[in-house]
Amino acid sequence: MGTSLYAITNSKLTGEETDIYFDAVLEKFRGLNLSKSYFNAGGKRIEDDTEYCYYKDIYDYYPIDFASPSSYYFSLYKNIGIIGTIYRYHLLYNADFYSDDGWYVTFRKDIYNIIQVMGGTEIIFLADNGYTDGLSYYLECLAWEDTPYEIIKEKMITALIKPQLFSEHYKKMRNKSIDHSSISEFIWDDFRDLK
């Protein structure tokens, strides 16, 4: 089982949103024109034919889950937004990711554009499946339970050594890979250079 790469953002909902609002979010998401292809484990390019859509639980208003044929999907909760990806968390600690400036830049712009659609302004990267020194706790036990982004960020700042701005992490990782199972930092981005 791999450890998936997620991002949380500081988007919020009021609880008063209607289907008209979510239809508009869906149209903005569709309008980003994100790539609909990816490479499978065998290196073959796959075109995804998933429809853009959103789902609401009939028993509980949140989360509102948005699906797409791109490498990203997201969920809107009342106090937080969560972006899922097809990528693995170790990607952030792999020098090959940063050696292709085009791919890194495109990935970052995609995430920025998605959080704008969601109503967020910054992200923190998280992982699932537990072995990344507790990062999965912040996703699985806090974010998925609709804990506000600001509270999660403060808990992470208190518990981990330091937040690492994604653009600074990028410079550090250009020429090396490190074991992400023993990290004591978290990677965040406020996209200040893209605003």
Quick one: average pLDDT of 170-194?
Answer: 72
Confirm whether 93 is domain-assigned.
Answer: yes
Look at residue 82 in the predicted model and tell me its pLDDT.
96
* Domain of 163, in residue numbers: 4-189
pLDDT in tens, 22-75: 999 999 999 998 877 766 667 677 777 778 889 887 767 678 999 888 888 999
Domain tally for the chain? 1
Residue 181 has pLDDT above 70, yes or no: no
pLDDT band per the 50, 70, 90 thresholds, residue 88: confident
Average pLDDT, the chain: 83
- The model carries a pTM of 0.86
Per the DSSP assignment, residues forming a β-bridge with 84 are 6, 73
Is 95 in contact with 173 (CB distance < 8 Å)? yes
Confirm whether 104 is domain-assigned.
Answer: yes
Surface-to-core class of residue 161, CB atoms within 10 Å of its CB (0-12 exposed, 13-18 middle, 19+ buried):
exposed
Confirm whether 105 is domain-assigned.
Answer: yes
